[in-house]
Amino acid sequence: MKLNKLSPKSREELETHLKSKTPSFYHSSKTSTVIPYDHIESYLEDLGVLEFTMVNLTELPTHMELDGEGNLTIEGPVTWQEAKAYCHSKGRDIMTSPTEELACILAGFATSATGERCFGFGTLRDQVISLEYLNSKAEVHTLSSKNKLPINKELEEYQRSYNSFKDFKNAPFPRMEVETDLLTGTEGQLGVITKAILKTTVLEDRTFIFIKLPKWEENFSKHLEIFSKVQSFRDRIFSCELLDSNSMAVLPEEERIIESGDLIFLEVRSSAFESVYEDLISKFELITDEDMFEVPAAKSHRLRMNVPRFTFERNSRMGVVKKGTDVQVSPEKFPELLEIYKELSTLGIDYNLFGHFGDAHLHFNFLPDQTKVETCQEKLEELYRKVKSIGGSPFAEHGIGLIKQKFIADFLDPLHYVVFDQIKNEHDPENILFPMGFLNLNRSIG
């Protein structure tokens, strides 16, 4: 297996490579948890790939600009962290972003990234105005979120099947309604995104309220009280996140903010804090004021970011590929999801649970040693069968990449493969853009 690496430093170099028709994977910050970057060579070798090229987009030039209406133009490998700092300096804020802020914004469209603030602001699909990309022939195209995709019989059926997931952050297959959907969540298989224009919001002061709770495995009634009551506060609460006791335990001691039990935190618009206190917090029946405390924004943010980072680090230290979930279910099915996770917590394998609690979207991560990896794999397969039976979405934000492909088949019908084939044939007929991606699953599984 021969793995070539390339880092174009200009748009021209990128175009020249595209025109060479070399099958390639175009990456940005490499924070995706569904691409095994650490051992990509052996992974591809196992797939029977003889030669492949990894194209690093992070050395291309960047540009950021805010217009008078608060629309942000991003060109090149700008990270969420850089864009946030830029927007803040101009009194604006990014509405939603992945917890890992060193990821790139244009890659965020490719993975249909979501994050904490989806609770208050919805998804990137709601915020994008236009996307510019280079297609497989290195031609520049611009897609608008205002224009519908041309419809045919198969796409109509596909869109109907998407309807049952329309309230989820991401369905098991990308939405295909408007032009920008083509490059959103298709993981770089249809083109290289070079520019995006997205809406921003006014920068507002926020208050982070942390709520101490018992361990969810022992009793999650307090957790569920918060879940059901926060739902009607999405206009004043930007995020509602869970960090369970085991998430705290993966952190270095000096980073932990409580010694035992779980935490849920609410990111509240400070100007609306009084009304949130009066209408929500003071009305909790199972939770008292003594269970709550305020944490400065920067500290909350660091804590939230550190949990997945240290979880990831622990798995790397143990030499295992992430064995975690990215499942979102409907609010009615959330207690069932917690019961499913409760079963996984009794296997004698270390784990943690954290994530976007208010959106019924949690990451359960096994933290196994090498001897338990196979059991985890079997248990995850069982879990996905249950998720399917309760109508959940299996990969609500991290995407499918290479690692999750083995779990996707149950969630797709022949009609999805037909549309995947149609769009791949139309946009990348020579199959040079991430050819082993999920749009080609039909071909690879025969």
Ligand X SMILES: Cc1cc2nc3c(=O)[nH]c(=O)nc-3n(C[C@H](O)[C@H](O)[C@H](O)COP(=O)(O)OP(=O)(O)OC[C@H]3O[C@@H](n4cnc5c(N)ncnc54)[C@H](O)[C@@H]3O)c2cc1C
What are the residues binding ligand X (CB under 6 A)?
A: 25-33, 35, 57, 98-100, 103-104, 106-108, 110-111, 113-115, 187-188, 192-193, 308-309, 312, 397-399, 434
Q: How far apart are CA 214 and CA 222, in angstroms?
A: 8
Q: How far apart are CA 251 and CA 310, in angstroms?
A: 6
- Of 110 and 211, the one with the shorter C-beta distance to ligand X is 110
- Of 8 and 308, the one with the shorter C-beta distance to ligand X is 308
- Of 55 and 376, the one with the shorter C-beta distance to ligand X is 55
- Of 22 and 159, the one with the shorter C-beta distance to ligand X is 22
Least separation in angstroms between residue 401's CB and ligand X is: 6
With a CB cutoff of 8 Å and minimum separation 6, the contacts of 313 are: none
SS percent in the chain: helix, strand, coil, step 5: 40, 20, 35
Other C-beta atoms closer than 10 Å to the C-beta of 24 total 21
- Of 41 and 157, the one with the shorter C-beta distance to ligand X is 41
- Please list, residue by residue across 163-178, b when 16 or more beta carbons sit within 10 angstroms of its beta carbon and e when fewer do: eebeebbbbbbbbbbb
Q: How crowded is the C-beta side of 185, counted as CA atoms within 13 Å?
A: 25
The token pair that represents 379 in the structure block: 């248990």
Least separation in angstroms between residue 93's CB and ligand X is: 17
Pairing label, strands 361-366, 323-324: antiparallel
Least separation in angstroms between residue 84's CB and ligand X is: 14
The C-alpha R_g of the chain, in whole angstroms, comes to: 22
Least separation in angstroms between residue 340's CB and ligand X is: 21
Cross-sheet strand order for the sheet of 192-199: 63-66, 71-75, 192-199, 128-134, 140-144
Q: How far apart are CA 247 and CA 309, in angstroms?
A: 11
- Of 268 and 403, the one with the shorter C-beta distance to ligand X is 403
Least separation in angstroms between residue 168's CB and ligand X is: 13
Q: How crowded is the C-beta side of 382, counted as CA atoms within 13 Å?
A: 10
| DSSP for 227-272, written as a single string | HHHHGGGTTTEEEEEEE-HHHHHTS-GGG-S-SSSEEEEEEEEGGG
Q: How far apart are CA 426 and CA 285, in angstroms?
A: 56
Q: How crowded is the C-beta side of 112, counted as CA atoms within 13 Å?
A: 27
- Of 36 and 214, the one with the shorter C-beta distance to ligand X is 36
- Of 26 and 165, the one with the shorter C-beta distance to ligand X is 26
- Of 338 and 403, the one with the shorter C-beta distance to ligand X is 403
CB-closest chain residue to ligand X: 188
Least separation in angstroms between residue 273's CB and ligand X is: 25
Least separation in angstroms between residue 109's CB and ligand X is: 7
Least separation in angstroms between residue 216's CB and ligand X is: 20
Q: How far apart are CA 142 and CA 158, in angstroms?
A: 24
Least separation in angstroms between residue 11's CB and ligand X is: 12
Least separation in angstroms between residue 275's CB and ligand X is: 28
In the 8-state DSSP scheme, what is residue 145?
A: T
- Of 40 and 213, the one with the shorter C-beta distance to ligand X is 40
Number of residues written out for the chain: 446
- Of 29 and 207, the one with the shorter C-beta distance to ligand X is 29
Least separation in angstroms between residue 26's CB and ligand X is: 5
Q: How far apart are CA 339 and CA 419, in angstroms?
A: 35
